[in-house]
Amino acid sequence: MDRVIVTGGAGFIGSHIVEALLRENYKVMVIDNFSTGHRRHLEHLPIDVYTFDITNPDVMDLIISLHPDYIIHEAAQISVANSVKDILNDENVNVKGSLHVIKAAIKANVKKVVFASSAAVYGNPITLPVSVDHPTRPESPYGLTKLTVEHYLKMAYKFYGLSYGILRYSNVYGPRQDAKGEGGVVAIFSECMRKETAPTIFGDGKQTRDFIFVRDVASANIKALKVDKNISVNISSGGSITINQLFETMKKAANSHLSVHYADARQGDIRDSLLSNDETKRLLGWAPCVDLFQGLRETIYDPNQYKKLQKL
């Protein structure tokens, strides 16, 4: 049975990856500092959990001692806004923390590291949809740190033979996503609809995004583990929608009549984003399975979020 470490495995995306790994009969170990992840995502699962911060150099000794066959590296500082406010913290978590993981993977003779990158590495697109050979010109420190780790992974293969899978996520949404902080617009709209409070759209709402359901992202990670080559691919739905259209679609899914407020656009946000997944389908034999309306309904009616609201 292959052993897989998932850093950030208690988080929104990470916990879905953990469940997908278990369905494929992997032995799963999670490393998470629980700054944003939740124990409730994991407590019912047959896994080993280690409370540790990837920014602590001792995490390298921990990883080596666990003898993993693979590492799926999800742990990160994920807020674009916070990366602008505090570039040193962004670098500490996303670059230095990732280098700890990469160095440990080399020493542990890990077969492959699968890394959660982001559409933010591209910056404002020149053409749409964005393919993986599109120029990378990040518009935020967050995007820059993700791109930096991509380069380090390629160097690690060049000098040490560490195989990698780089997955550039578009806007991931789904159950368990927290609306606080950089929770994602779907999570924020969902919470507003459950609480019946009007949400805020930053900018004019005509900016476009490519939304991918979290279980489709998890399945892509499993595919990336199994493919016998280094890859850099987009994990996306292949379609886009404006934020205004998203809000109207969610109102329909929730049978809601909420109105919306508008505020100034946020610094560092991309105007339009649409990632091509043609290369991903070819290389991974993967395609998204959950359509947007179905995924939005499942997100809005997430029972975990209802339980939280009932306690308020």
* Average of per-residue pLDDT across 13-19: 98
pLDDT in tens, 37-77: 999 999 999 999 999 999 999 999 999 999 999 999 999 99
For 82-118, how does the pLDDT look when each residue is reduced to its tens digit (9 = 90+)?
A: 999 999 999 999 999 999 999 999 999 999 999 999 9
Number of Cβ atoms within 10 Å of the Cβ of 280: 26
User: Where in the chain is CATH 3.40.50.720?
Assistant: 3-172+213-235
Residue the block writes with tokens 């799926």: 72
How far CA 6 is from CA of 25, 110, 134, 189, in Å, comes to 15, 13, 29, 28
Q: Which has the closest alpha carbon to 145: 217, 230, 55?
A: 55
pLDDT band, very low/low/confident/very high, at 208 (cuts 50, 70, 90): very high
Looking at 1.10.10.60, 3.40.50.720, 3.30.479.30, 3.30.1300.30, the CATH number of the domain 3-172+213-235 comes to 3.40.50.720
Q: Give the residue numbers annotated as catalytic, written as ranges.
A: 142
Domain 173-209+239-274+290-310 has CATH 3.90.25.10: yes
Q: Is the pLDDT of residue 308 over 70?
A: no
Start-end of CATH 3.90.25.10 domains in the chain: 173-209+239-274+290-310
The pLDDT tens digits of the residues spanning 74-83 come to 999 998 889 9
Express each pLDDT in 238-273 by its tens digit: 999 999 999 999 999 999 999 999 999 887 677 898
- pLDDT tops 90 at residue 182: no
Please check whether residue 221 is in contact with residue 8, taking contact to mean a CB–CB distance below 8 angstroms: no
Q: How many whole angstroms separate alpha carbon 256 and alpha carbon 234?
A: 33
pLDDT at 181 over 60: no
Residue 256 DSSP one-character state = -
Mean per-residue pLDDT over the chain, rounded: 94
Outline where the chain has alpha helix (H): 12-23, 59-66, 80-85, 87-91, 97-107, 141-160, 185-195, 214-226, 243-254, 278-284, 292-300, 303-310
